[in-house]
């Protein structure tokens, strides 16, 4: 995509891995080849400026020095960490109070939307989702506008003029303290969405589909969803609540063996499973069949880490145990003897693949268990409390009548489920120290 770009490249990620020299060289080549090309990069400040020689800021520095008028790097810092705490909490741990989390990779009029960061593991052995939208100028412009609006409440990374410092972080607004950007960010992002909602920007078509109706009529709708709880923007919560309200609920109890379930089937996954309480209540309060994929402890990205982070896979096991207990208490557990196409209730499976980690996230909705998905939620959200309240997230809801696209979505789900097994978390012990850790930082998981 970068090699094809003529006018603009815009990238948003938590960070860029220090090994991604090929990416940096691709950007450099594109800038050299196309004198009018503009490059915008938006990252999380705390994650991208970790001390040491491997920081993202240092990786981008040569591009900033060579093309100061054409390379624009912004770094978002969560305002949740304020005052004396902002000085006391050390690097890496300060990321617990919220990060910049949207994953947008755009070039000219094409966009790749993902939950993946720009790091070697995602390109090799870390499972994620990728939705590529080609020749979509309106959606590409929206994503670029989202980043440009967010620049107004983010630091700018600049090459330093001081020989003692390699780079500097410049704050763009002298009237707003960087620890108190809540109102500014809320107004900027809501104004952006209010503008776009007045247009039919996000109606588009798939490739010619001989089974679709109405010839060239749009067969895909895409809705952007911002969730930024720290700015009192909770679009994701409203969308999921509306989705569960509008879907026809299951009409037979989960323990019925006489009447086959033939209502909507929801597939849901996240690499860091600990459903945000309102989302959990939606799942448990409906009669919809819901199949959930969580990461096994070995497939968790924190597995084998040193220090506190090494306890996190065990912490997620605790959250899974609590969830399953709530499922059983509500009478919504998927019957053990039910087939994949006839069961109802809530099913939890765990993903594990030798040598791989799991980072996929999203929702798929089928009108019946034997049909293909016609709705999917994709993007950066992990559907947990952290995504809802601390991180800044950008996701998209896609609705389609295209049989071709629906089949691709079905294949995506089945590809993920191919590496799953029944959930074994009930057999795992959770140490008392981990329980105490979850009690202390549970909202950050």
pLDDT in tens, 137-184: 999 999 999 999 999 999 999 998 876 789 999 999 999 999 999 999
pLDDT in the model for residue 261: 84
CA angle 150, 151, 152 (to 5 degrees): 90
- Catalytic hit among 72, 101, 359, 419: 101
Give the contacts of 308 (CB within 8 A, at least 6 positions apart).
Answer: 437
Query: What's the sign of the alpha-carbon dihedral 137, 139, 144, 149?
Result: positive
d(CA 190, CA 154): 17
- Catalytic hit among 42, 44, 80, 108: 108
Query: What's the sign of the alpha-carbon dihedral 108, 113, 118, 120?
Result: negative
pLDDT in tens, 322-355: 999 999 999 999 976 666 656 789 999 999 999 9
- Catalytic hit among 42, 72, 103, 359: 103
Whether 103 is catalytic: yes
- For the chain, give percent helix, strand, coil, nearest 5: 35, 25, 40
pLDDT in the model for residue 298: 97
pLDDT in the model for residue 340: 64
pLDDT in the model for residue 248: 85
pLDDT in the model for residue 308: 86
Give the contacts of 322 (CB within 8 A, at least 6 positions apart).
Answer: none
Whether 101 is catalytic: yes
Tokens of 118: 């720009």
Contact 117, 14 (CB under 8 A): yes
Contact 119, 19 (CB under 8 A): yes
List the chain residues with pLDDT less than 70.
Answer: 163, 198-201, 207-216, 250-259, 336-342
- The dihedral over CA atoms of 151, 153, 154, 160, expressed in degrees to the nearest 10, equals 90
Find where tokens 């093309």 sit: 67
Q: What is the pTM of this model?
A: 0.94
């Amino acid at each position: 995509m970068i090699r094809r770009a003529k006018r603009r490249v815009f990238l948003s990620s938590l960070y860029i891995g220090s090994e991604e020299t090929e990416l940096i060289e691709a950007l450099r080549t594109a800038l050299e080849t196309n004198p009018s090309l503009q490059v915008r990069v938006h990252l999380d400040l705390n994650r991208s400026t970790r001390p040491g020689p491997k920081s993202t800021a240092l990786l981008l520095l040569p591009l900033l020095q060579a093309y100061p008028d054409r390379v624009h790097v912004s770094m978002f810092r969560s305002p949740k960490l304020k005052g004396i705490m902002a000085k006391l909490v050390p690097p890496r741990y300060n990321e617990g109070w919220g990060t910049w989390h949207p994953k947008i990779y755009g070039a000219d009029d094409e966009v790749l939307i993902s939950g993946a960061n720009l790091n070697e593991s995602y390109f090799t052995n870390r499972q994620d989702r990728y939705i590529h939208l080609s020749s979509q100028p309106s959606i590409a412009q929206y994503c670029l506008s989202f980043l440009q609006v967010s620049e107004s409440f983010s630091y700018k990374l600049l090459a330093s003029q001081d020989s003692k410092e390699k780079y500097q972080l410049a704050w763009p607004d002298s009237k707003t303290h960087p620890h108190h950007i809540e109102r500014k960010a809320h107004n900027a992002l809501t104004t952006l969405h209010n503008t776009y909602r007045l247009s039919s920007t996000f109606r588009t078509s798939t490739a010619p589909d001989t089974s679709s109706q109405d010839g060239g009529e749009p067969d895909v709708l895409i809705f952007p969803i911002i969730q930024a709880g720290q700015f009192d923007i909770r679009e994701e919560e409203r969308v999921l609540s509306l989705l569960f309200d509008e879907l026809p609920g299951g009409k037979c109890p989960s323990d019925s063996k006489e009447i086959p379930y033939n209502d909507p089937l929801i597939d849901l996954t996240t690499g860091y499973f600990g459903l945000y309480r309102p989302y959990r209540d939606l799942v448990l309060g409906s009669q919809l069949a819901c199949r959930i994929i969580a990461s096994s402890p070995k497939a968790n990205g924190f597995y084998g880490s040193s220090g506190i982070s090494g306890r996190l896979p065990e912490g997620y096991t605790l959250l899974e145990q609590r969830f399953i207990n709530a499922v059983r208490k509500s009478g919504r557990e998927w019957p053990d003897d039910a087939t994949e196409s006839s069961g109802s209730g809530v099913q939890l499976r765990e993903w594990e693949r030798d040598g791989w980690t799991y980072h996929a996230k999203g929702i798929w909705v089928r009108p019946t268990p034997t049909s293909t998905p016609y709705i999917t939620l994709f993007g950066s959200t992990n559907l947990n409390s952290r995504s809802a309240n601390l991180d800044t997230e950008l996701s998209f809801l896609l609705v389609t009548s295209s049989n071709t696209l629906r089949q691709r979505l079905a294949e995506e789900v089945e590809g993920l489920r191919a590496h799953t097994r029944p959930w074994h978390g009930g057999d795992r012990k959770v140490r008392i120290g981990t329980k105490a850790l979850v009690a202390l930082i549970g909202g950050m998981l």
